[in-house]
A and B are shown apart, each in its own frame.
Chain A
Amino acid sequence: MTTPTPSLSAPISTITLSPQEGEERGDITIDRDVANLSITIRNSLSFEDESEQNQAIPIFNVTGPVLKKIIEWCEHHRGDPAVYDDGSKDAGDGNGTAMWAKSKGADVLGWDKKYMDGMDRETLFDVIMAANYLDIKALLDIGCKTVANMIKGKSPGEIRTMFGIENDFSAEDIEQIRKENEWAEDR
């Protein structure tokens, strides 16, 4: 008996992801249009041929819980128009960093704000790194904005405390920095 060939006209509507990091390695199945928000996943889908289409895609560098958190965001944003696909239109940014394709303003609002507020700081960093790896620009964007808002308006000491950073400047360094920063302090 021959194996029935899969119908060429019916698109595969779900994708299965297999996290390769951490302890929770259970496969996660999501709709294709949700998965497409990740450029990384979208690219790996396009390399498959039909016989591989039902297999799980291994996801490195991201643990199961973090992946689930990312998917939660993607499921909410599945219908969003693609804003970031064409990258920065600014002339002269030919040095490769795609980060300048950013929306103006550092406000995170509505559902996104609740989403961000709902996670602890460590998860936030995990989500940022995962969004970077999975190339989900909009999520990376709001993640970075959220951290920026944490830093905004804080003194150096407060920033050190918040992130557990040690002050490795000498006394001479500090004097030098004070002079260099004069222009910024007057406002």
Chain B
Amino acid sequence: MEKRPGFYDLPNELIQSILSYLTPESLGGSIRSVDKRLQSIADTPLLWRFHCRTQYRFWDPTHDIKKAFAKPVDATKWKDLFVSRRKLDKFVEEKIDEIIQSSQNRILNIEDVVRGGASTGLGPRKASHTYDVKDKLLELCRTPEDVDDYLARRYWAKACLERLHRAYAIEQWRVLRHQTVPLERALGAFDMFIQADGPGDHNDISDEIDLLAKALLSEYPSFADMSTRKQALTLTQFLNARGFTGVESENDYHNLQNNFLSRALQDPNHPALPLVCVVIYCCIATRVGLCARPCGFPMHVYGIVTPPEGRDLDDKPENPSEPPERMYVDAFRSTIDIPAASLQSELRRVGVSRDFEHVYLGPASTLEITIRMSKNIMESIRIVQDNASHAPLNTDGSRVPAWVTVSPDMDSAFYSTLWSRCILHEHSSSGNAQRRRHIPFLKEHFQQHAPWDVALMETHMLSRFHGFHEFEHLRIILQNVRDADAAERTPIKRDDEAKEKVKYNVGQVFRHRRYMYEGVIVGWDKACDAGETWIHQMGVDGLVKGRGQSFYHVLVDDKTSRYVAEENIGITDAEPSDALMSLAGRFFKRYDGVERRFVSNIKEDYPDD
């Protein structure tokens, strides 16, 4: 009778295979507690590398994770890496709980999440942000609706994620001021502002461009042997054939999405303004050994292609007595190059003197292109807002807020332009003048939409204004934000007078009786608590019930916070719009369909509501 096999008759390699079907927690818990042999198999780096790869998609650049995956498996402590990610996940979850529970120190907590560690900790000072928290934040952004406080959880996770993205983007621009930065990083920074919990971060952009470069080389295997001229035109052809043909129609020219690399790359229609077209062209070119840079031509952004040292565009030896050749391409709109002479005559037509021609016909620096992109975005927004204000009203007199219908998010796009302009303009009189024009808008946007950017303002803005009179004003604003964050909350209880007088409650949804906008109540005062100037400006004394009636703090579906008299509040039982639902998480946990109101997450401030 043969001896029947037991578990340990299986070779280690097969036991490893079996263990690979277990969860990492099981592997790191029960399994490795059984005996020494099973422990050593459970600790195998190969298994933990598998879990690192399958459980986590986003890694901080400091890990250089792609290289790590390609190296021999023993070169990295995969289990330690995995466990540290799990611990970070737990830290993020605990911090988000704290953020939801109280508004006190919320900004500090958000900063801790983005940093991936507590601010008061022992050990070396951590960097200000880490991409390692992104996977967990994304998961929280998708908290299922059956979770009690899902609106709040989603809102604050998203706020942290956007804050993280902005930190990365702004860092790119900060570096760009002093050194070169890859073109797609400098411009992809704008994408980092708008993408929230969607796809299209700077890694996605780089990956997409890598794929295009690979596809080009496999479609044209003799690419490397072509002359520069042929390469330039082949690239144009390649992009054109793939559907990169610029903007969909003249009407769509100013669509906001046409300004963003991630949209141009991911959207199957590849909508893109000429600037974005040329940037994609140049980024692919760099990867395949073709020298192409965007050109600073005022009316239209062309690409300048230059041949390698010592040769001309047709791969013949360069004529040393002639200036080095270059050609102008329209990225992917036409498959022929543009003669320099026609560009020169256009410049002359708009009054550029010959002495300055070279400025507009030469390659533009990455910094110049970034500023130009910023201006394009601002222009698109201006046109979108213009159109929105002329859009017809709904039958009930209301209007769908522009930010709902326009993609990507307009406010985030606007914010990106403000930051880029404030960081990138140089310290010259014209640069300073430009920067100052944008500072009031930056301050306003920051306070209203993202006060948790205070650390970014402190790091990047305060120092740039040192010595200017705006400095003190900005410093005070930032200090106020910090103080407000740290302050003890003072609850506003409903005394007898309030119970009598203040008809409506926090969480109730309403329509403004006059302006028809949709909003939700987030606070109240027994009588109008604004200053005389505001009362006068808004004509409060002209209202039927005047300034003595209850006034309400409200969140409106256009993202603004307003102060509304009780007589103008028309409480509605209707289901809140999707727009309002996505904004409400800042103050509420969820919408109660039975009570017909949002469930308060601001009990600290209004305990009786």
Contact = CB atoms under 8 A, between A and B. Distances in A.
Given A144-B14, A144-B21, A168-B36, A126 B30 contact: no
B7 A165 contact: yes
Contacts of A169: 33, 35-36
A94 B69 CA distance: 10
Interface stretch (B82-90, B103-111, B305-313): B82-90
Given A152-B22, A169-B36, A163 B70 contact: no
A129 B5 contact: yes
B83 A183 contact: yes
Interface stretch (A35-43, A96-104, A109-117): A96-104
B39 to A, nearest CB: 8
Interface string B384-407: 000000000000000000000000
B434 interface: no
A173 B198 CA distance: 46
Interface in A53-105: 63, 90-92, 94-95, 97, 99-100, 102
A155 B30 contact: yes
B25 interface: yes
B34 A63 contact: no
Nearest to B9: A125
Contacts of A63: 2
Contacts of B31: 151, 156, 159
Contact of A185 (B16, B29, B46): B29
B34 A147 contact: no
Given A156-B33, A183-B83, A126 B50 contact: no
B73 A95 contact: yes
A148 interface: yes
B13 interface: yes
Interface size on A, as a range, is 35 or more
Contacts of A186: 90
A148 B21 contact: yes
Interface string A20-43: 001100000000000000000000
Contact of B86 (A151, A164, A183): A183
B6 interface: yes
Interface residues of B, number: 45
B544 interface: no
Nearest to B53: A90
A122 B20 contact: no
Interface in B496-540: none
A122 B21 contact: no
Contacts of A16: none
A168 B16 contact: no
Interface of B: 2, 4-11, 13-14, 16-22, 24-36, 38-39, 46, 50, 53, 69-73, 83, 86-87, 90
Interface of A: 22-23, 63, 90-92, 94-95, 97, 99-100, 102, 106, 122, 125-126, 128-129, 132, 140, 144-145, 147-149, 151-156, 159-160, 163-169, 174, 177, 180-181, 183-187
26 contacts: A22-B2, A63-B2, A92-B69, A95-B72, A144-B20, A144-B21, A149-B21, A151-B26, A151-B31, A156-B33, A156-B34, A159-B30, A160-B34, A165-B8, A165-B35, A166-B35, A167-B34, A169-B33, A169-B35, A169-B36, A183-B86, A183-B90, A184-B29, A185-B25, A186-B90, A187-B25
Given A126-B5, A151-B26, 17 more contacts: A99-B13, A125-B6, A128-B10, A132-B14, A144-B18, A144-B20, A148-B18, A159-B38, A163-B6, A163-B8, A165-B35, A167-B35, A169-B35, A180-B32, A183-B28, A186-B90, A187-B25
